[in-house]
Amino acid sequence: MKTAATAVILMLLATAVAVSAAQAKGRNPVKLTTVELKTSEHVFKQTPQGELKLYVHYPPDWKKSDKRPAIIFFFGGAWRHGTSAQFEPQAAYLAARGLVSVRADYRIASKHKTTPEKCTEDAKSAVRWLRSHAGELGVDPDKIIASGGSAGGHLAATTALVPAHEAKEDDAKISCKPNALVLFNPALHFPEHAVNDADGKPLKDFWPTPFLKKGAPPAILFFGTKDRMVTQGQEFLAKSKALGNRAELYTAADQPHGFFNRSPWTEVTARQTDIFLASLGYLQGDPTLKLPANAPSLKREE
């Protein structure tokens, strides 16, 4: 039985679920590129609830001998719902720009009857699989970006920061820590709320922000100003700056949780992501994405 606190978290995070479901059903997701891309699917993990896959998008001039940066996306949906289709537009665009883009499955409550610690285990397993198979995917294992929205943003940040919730079958010698983070209204710190494990006990060491340390990966975060979780982004930014870490927080005026799933904000946030990754040396040249007419602007918070 869920606690009232857990119900509050699910309410806050579930607002993006309808968008994810619509994309999974092919209801006109935003297209950010028209470039034709090669794709592949790989089973990265066998679980008691079934196999989990990675969906890879390759740049047009990709070769197996390449050592390209890669980005791995984790979908949102309160650790309960959603599919990897959510980030297909962003994955395709960044592949067209030169990255190897990956969309990851992970176990969710509605499909697999699992609790959130299994989501974190699966996210870490996915990054490890990507790093250990870098040679066959044409990926530089030292240039892996983790990304996601809402609960998926939590998972991306967790792979970088939280030492707990490791899958027993994983090879711990392979790092699950990405080299950069791209986070869309991530769930980062609800200290007053409990998230329970399969036994109904509050999970310990679940939220990423308390584990920020000097030397954490550079990060870019996006929030709407009407998202009640925006304060978590502000906390993450302040702590990162105090530690001397690179972090950028961008806000969208009067926008709610999940705003990045809708045009023109999908385009606006994707373009800013492009600029951020180019500043790290992961992309070359200017963004190729054209913004819609009269597209709004993001505000960089200091």
pLDDT in tens, 236-253: 999 999 999 999 999 999
Tell me the three state secondary structure of residue 24. helix
Mention every residue, 6+ apart, whose C-beta is less than 8 A from residue 66.
100, 138, 139
Q: Can you give the pLDDT at residue 38?
A: 98
pLDDT, residue 9, reads 55
What digits encode the pLDDT tens for the residues 263-277? 999 999 999 999 999
> How much is the pTM?
0.93
Contacts 24+ apart (CB under 8 A), 36-41: 36/60, 37/92, 37/95, 37/96, 38/62
State the CATH number of the domain containing residue 280.
3.40.50.1820
pLDDT value at 160 more than 50: yes
- Report the b/e string of 132-165 with b at 16+ CB within 10 A: eebeebbbbbebbbbbbbbbbbbbbbbbbbbeeb
Residue 93: give the domain boundaries.
4-301
Q: How many domains does the chain have?
A: 1
